[in-house]
């Protein structure tokens, strides 16, 4: 007897940015206008932030565990402004996972963490430099 499996589409919910689990994390690190244009995306139970490009932010990414979810997140982001050139990539670090990327393509390697942070629009409110390890370029769900 053949094995019958049911394939269901992942449920993705778009929510206001302030509902994202990681909203406070990003609110201290990105331009306030970008933060207000962000989208909370709930995959399963936890909404996480997708921050658009603009101002000094050249690109972004949202990590997911499988290709079906990556395709669903890409489709959800497509109609929103600030998410140009949506594509699905494979990230090996900080852990192996699919990612939905948008904006400029990041370089294969970074000269230092400050270059990486600047690409992802890291801001320092008092114009002092925070430790480079203080922020990632994406939602913590991708790590």
Taking every pair of Cα atoms in the chain, the longest distance, rounded to a whole number of angstroms, is 67
- Whole-model pTM: value is 0.79
User: How many DSSP H helices and E strands does the chain contain?
Assistant: 4, 6
**% of the chain beyond a pLDDT of 70:** 81
Query: pLDDT category, 133, cuts 50, 70, 90?
Result: very low
- pLDDT, tens digit, 9 for 90 and up, residues 43-56: 988 999 999 999 88
In angstroms, the first-to-last Cα distance of the chain is 41
- pLDDT, tens digit, 9 for 90 and up, residues 79-98: 999 999 999 999 887 778 99
- CB within 8 Å of 122: residues ≥ 6 apart: 29, 30, 135
Reading the block at residue 128, the tokens are: 């002092």
Pairing type for strands 12-15 and 59-64 reads unpaired
User: What is the model's pLDDT at position 66?
Assistant: 92
């Amino acid at each position: 007897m053949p094995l019958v499996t049911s394939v269901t589409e992942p449920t993705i919910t778009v929510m206001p940015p302030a509902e994202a689990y990681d909203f406070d994390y990003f609110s201290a690190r990105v331009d306030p206008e970008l933060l207000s244009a962000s989208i909370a995306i709930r995959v399963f139970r936890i909404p996480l932030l997708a921050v658009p490009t603009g101002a000094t932010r050249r690109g972004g990414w949202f990590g997911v565990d499988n290709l079906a979810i990556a395709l669903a997140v890409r489709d959800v982001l497509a109609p929103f402004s600030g998410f140009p050139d949506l594509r699905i990539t494979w990230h090996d670090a900080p852990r192996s996972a699919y990612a939905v990327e948008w904006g400029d393509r990041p370089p294969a390697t970074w000269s230092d963490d400050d270059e990486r942070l600047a690409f992802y629009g890291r801001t320092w409110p008092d114009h002092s430099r925070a430790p480079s390890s203080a922020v990632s370029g994406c939602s913590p769900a991708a790590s």
